[in-house]
Chain A
Amino acid sequence: MRFRFLLALGILLLAGCGRSGGSGEALSLLNVSYDPTRELYRDVNAAFAEEWQRQTGQTILVKQSHAGSGNQARAVIDGLQADVVTLALAYDIDSIHRNGKRLGPNWQTRFPHNSSPYTSTIVFLVRAGNPKQIRDWPDLVKPGVQVVTPNPKTSGGARWNFLAAWGAELHRQLGGDWSKLDDPQTAAQAEAAQAAAEAFVATIYRNAPVLDSGARGATNTFVQRQIGDVLLAWENEALLAVQELGPDQVEIVVPSTSILAETPVAVVDTVVDRRGTRRAAEAYLQFLYSPTGQELAAKHHYRPTDPEVLARHRDKFAEIETFTIDQAFGGWDRAHTRFFADGALFDRIMGVK
């Protein structure tokens, strides 16, 4: 009893310190995002603050927090006071809904394009001159090729990598006809294609020298520590790496087909309602769809969803035939239980190493 009391007293004391050190009365938003978006949101936040000032006369400060997408979802579930989340995959925002009901189940229909203001895809980053002659997905399982990719258990980008590899092999086996997956008449062919895809993905992961916990960590492993021959990367990470390190170090290989990686955004209902920041939070996410927001996305190597802005940056974003997670896997929930849940396919692949 006494212990409880002392503990409570201590908490109050500390909380007092915390509050008085707070940011005062200025309007602020917290954007909890995943790893590679730091540069993007630094620019977006400044531009949005200007726009908000012009429209309402208020000053607004948008704070950012970045880590692996799964970790960030976990932190929001555990109480990180995010007004908006901008994560790497819908599954992570879904889990914020499932565990603790911090936002409504219909979050993905509240903004255009499945609430994804920008998208990306998965491409290859290879060493300068492409010494292992990697051109497309099948080259990844050639003998002696080591693929660097993060751990899909912890990293959102890694899940996209996994699904891109699986989907690309399915696509090849089925001749690009996704309807064959559900057609009873081609059931045998679909089954064979799935088996081939499993073997393909298993080979990649068994030859992987290291599984980092996040996308940026994997990029550093490949670039700084010089480990591996190919990095499976977000297109935006790959473009950034080339920009930062120069084409004399690494170059991008765009495969013939890849996954359309939707990176969605959402307002966290419980937080904005408690803090009274709903209007600003919604305006902030809307701003991502505005021409300014879309241009900034393109500048930071994300594919804008606005076709006009995308057309202006066609030279940067190579034409690539993409498939969606719904087409190839029937959505995130099914993909998660099939591949990434405990004891599911990914665990089995790594178990028989």
Chain B
Amino acid sequence: MAGGPSRELLAELATRPGRDTLTSTLVKGAFITVSLLFLAAMLFAPLITVFAAAFEKGYEAYFEAFKDSDTLAAIRLTLTVAAIVVPLNTIFGIAAAWALGKFEFRGKSMLITLIDLPIAVSPVISGLIYVLLFGTQGWFGLWLQEHDISIIYAVPGIVLATLFVTFPYVARELLPLMQQLGNDEEEAAITMGAGGLMTFFHVTLPKIRWGLVYGVILCNARAMGEFGAVSVVSGHIRGLTTTMPLHVEILYNEYNFVAAFAVASLLTLLAVVTLVVKTLVEWRTGYRKR
């Protein structure tokens, strides 16, 4: 560190913050106002509209909407799909992130790109893929029909389509974390005689815990909210293959606005809960890092 700034320069620098306070405050204020106004217009207003429309005809009408058997079936289906998809994608996500973060092999960067594919392609295409594979005119269509198995226009198709579109979330969250944390601790554990599973549960899992929770939350939110891909493979059979987002559209198209927004408000609540949990997780992670 030879030389260094002169005394005069340091003195000059020290006065700067004071001199620029007015401008910087104005700029700061302007930025905050703009972002808040934008948020209010684009986010809060629509959110309030959803709840306002849902409660338009009072609490009774709101809760009446949830007594409809088709609505209940839609809620049940959405929960079922999430319950199947989220654990599977958690396992796949950990496996993928592990493979990519800890090992070197040919085609690795290709695989990383492929993981992002479901986010890159339109959900409608994600749905059509399965129609092309399992539809009667598709590759496996005839075989499936002969064996009396239905994939698309039934629950398995919805699960598959959701699985596809939500695949990247866990893997994407874990991958940078795994790469960043490196292998040292795992190697130490194995040197000291721990088995593979033991190393995973006692060394790796605690390290990636919060990243994992974050990925699972995102995955769950998308699984419950997915519309496009599910719409293509659903067949729209009421009470059987309509998930909550599809059911909202159906109700809306039937002029049943209160019920449509009631179901929408449930989805919104879910999103809000997800956000709260996400914030908590972020807060925890930040806290632990310090």
For the complex, give the distance between the alpha carbons of A317 and B138 in Å: 45
Once the chains bind, are B151 and A39 in contact (CB under 8 Å)?
no
Bound together, the chains give a CA A38 to CA B242 distance in angstroms of 15
Q: Which of A39, A78, A216 contacts B131 (CB 8 A)?
A: A78
A317 to B145 Cα, complex, angstroms: 45
Cβ B138 vs Cβ A18 within 8 A: no
Across the interface, do B237 and A38 meet the contact criterion of CB distance under 8 Å?
no
Q: CB within 8 A of B137: which of A19, A77, A80?
A: A77
Q: Do A79 and B254 form a contact, CB below 8 Å, given A18-B150, A18-B155, A99-B137?
A: no
Q: How many residues of A contact B (CB 8 A)?
A: 33
Instruction: Please report the C-alpha to C-alpha distance between residue A77 and residue B145 in the assembled complex, in whole angstroms.
Output: 13
A8-62 CB contacts (< 8 Å) to partner B = 11-12, 14-15, 17-19, 21, 23, 30, 32, 35, 38-39
Query: What CA separation (Å) do A11 and B144 show in the bound complex?
Result: 10
A100 located at the interface, meaning its Cβ lies under 8 Å from any Cβ of chain B in the complex: yes
Contacts A38-B254, A65-B238 given; indicate if A21 touches B153 (C-beta within 8 A): no
Q: Are A30 and B145 in contact (CB under 8 A)?
A: no
B141, B149, B237, B239: residue with the most chain A Cβ atoms closer than 10 Å: B237
Q: Is A207 engaged at the interface, CB distance under 8 Å to the other chain?
A: no
B131 cross-chain contacts in A, Cβ below 8 A: 78
- Asked if B156 lies at the interface with its beta carbon under 8 angstroms from chain A, I say yes
> Is B154 in contact with chain A by the CB < 8 A criterion?
yes
In angstroms, Cα B138 to Cα A14, docked, is 18
A63: interface (CB < 8 Å): yes
User: Given the complex, which residues of B lie within 8 Å of A39, measured CB to CB?
Assistant: 254
Q: Is A310 an interface residue (CB 8 A)?
A: no
Residue pairs across A and B with Cβ atoms less than 8 A apart, 26 shown, are: A11-B149, A11-B156, A14-B151, A14-B156, A14-B159, A15-B149, A17-B84, A17-B156, A17-B159, A18-B154, A18-B155, A19-B149, A21-B80, A21-B155, A32-B235, A38-B254, A65-B237, A65-B238, A75-B153, A75-B235, A77-B136, A78-B131, A79-B134, A79-B136, A79-B150, A80-B152
Chain A residues engaging chain B, CB cutoff 8 angstroms: 11-12, 14-15, 17-19, 21, 23, 30, 32, 35, 38-39, 63-67, 75, 77-81, 99-100, 216-217, 220, 240, 244, 274
